[in-house]
Amino acid sequence: MREQRTEIVVRQAPAPEAAPQPSEKPLVAAVREWPQTVEQVARQRTITQGQPYHREILELYRLAAQSVHRLQDLIRPIDDHIRANAGERDAEDKVERFVLENGDRLGGLRGSTKMFDFAGREERREALRALEEVAFYARVAARTYADQLQNNREDEESRRRHMSVEIPALSQHAQSMLTTMEQSRPDMEQSAKLMNQLDENPALKGELEAHSRAMAKRFGAHYATQGVAAIEARLPPEDRARAEEIFRPTRILEAAKLDDVLQRQRERAQQQGITRSR
């Protein structure tokens, strides 16, 4: 009796469910989380050595050396003032006024104001003229900073929009077709035949066209001619080693299209030669 009851229990036990299959990993994953804000990235790029604003600061150092004793004590506050007021309508007026009103207090003007120190008084006059140049050039630096900052904001926003696009993995059928195309080169006649086969398969052709559109959204409209460099520029650092793999479908398709065009031109030339000979 115990054996029979055990048999019934075994028969009624539910069958184990199949483990869910993981979804296909995309060829290129979308990037939607960033460690820094657009503003932080833009400001860091704007002050990077070698950028236009950095060169303006170096020029301010050169000019200020003719007017004050303490260069760092004057240029650093000017730099801070420019960054803090970037984007304000009167930012250039503000920084010019700041330099003229605080140049002596912050940097210590050269020369002397003593009545009988003629050489010192002349040096002070030269220092004041030089300070006016610093103030004027600070306006230029403020304009450069604001323009570059806005450009860097727009570039970073554009980069993030591109990198938010996911590139789905290609189907096995599409990958097989690409491999066949790759192996057929440099036989242009065979490449042309494969392109004809692709035209006769709407589903496969549609998949590859959708892939090309997604690639253009992710890596830019001219990525196909720019090559691997365009891919690397819009990949996270940890994925840049895969740039050649990601570019491979485009490289094969572009080469096959070129072979197809050349083969058609050759066939037309041959046909025209036959027609003329008749």
pLDDT, tens digit, 9 for 90 and up, residues 179-197: 999 998 778 788 888 888 8
Asked if residues 35 and 160 have their Cβ atoms less than 8 Å apart, the reply is no
User: What tokens were used for 114?
Assistant: 């003593």
Q: What pLDDT digit, counting tens, does each position of 258-270 carry? A: 887 887 788 787 7
- pLDDT > 90: percent of the chain: 59
Q: What pLDDT digit, counting tens, does each position of 79-94 carry? A: 999 999 998 889 999 9
Q: Would you place residue 274 in the very low, low, confident or very high pLDDT band (cuts 50, 70, 90)?
A: low
Which residue type is seen at 228? V
Q: Where are the alpha helices (DSSP H) in the chain?
A: 2-12, 38-46, 52-64, 71-85, 91-107, 118-163, 172-184, 188-199, 202-219, 223-226, 228-233, 243-277
Q: Would you place residue 6 in the very low, low, confident or very high pLDDT band (cuts 50, 70, 90)?
A: very low
Neighbour-count burial for 163-177, b at 16+ CB within 10 Å, e otherwise: bebebeebeeebeeb
Among 20-34, 86-100, 241-255, name the one with the lowest average pLDDT: 20-34
Among 7-21, 140-154, 243-257, 260-274, name the one with the lowest average pLDDT: 7-21
Q: Would you place residue 123 in the very low, low, confident or very high pLDDT band (cuts 50, 70, 90)?
A: confident
Give Dmax over CA atoms of the chain in angstroms: 127
- pLDDT > 70: percent of the chain: 87
| pLDDT score at 21 | 42
The arithmetic mean of pLDDT across residues 52-57, rounded, is 94
- Nearest-Å Rg of the Cα atoms of the chain is 34
pLDDT top residue among 180 and 12: 180
Asked if residues 219 and 231 have their Cβ atoms less than 8 Å apart, the reply is yes
**Collapsed DSSP state (helix, strand, coil) of residue 12:** helix
Q: Would you place residue 29 in the very low, low, confident or very high pLDDT band (cuts 50, 70, 90)?
A: very high
| pLDDT score at 277 | 61
Neighbour-count burial for 205-241, b at 16+ CB within 10 Å, e otherwise: bebbeebbebbbbbbbeebbeeebebbbbbbeeebee
Among 55-59, 92-96, 231-235, 241-245, name the one with the lowest average pLDDT: 231-235
Q: CA 5 to CA 21: how far, in whole Å?
A: 36
The mean pLDDT value of the chain amounts to 86
The arithmetic mean of pLDDT across residues 5-21, rounded, is 44
The arithmetic mean of pLDDT across residues 72-81, rounded, is 95
* Residue 8 scores a pLDDT above 80: no
**Collapsed DSSP state (helix, strand, coil) of residue 175:** helix
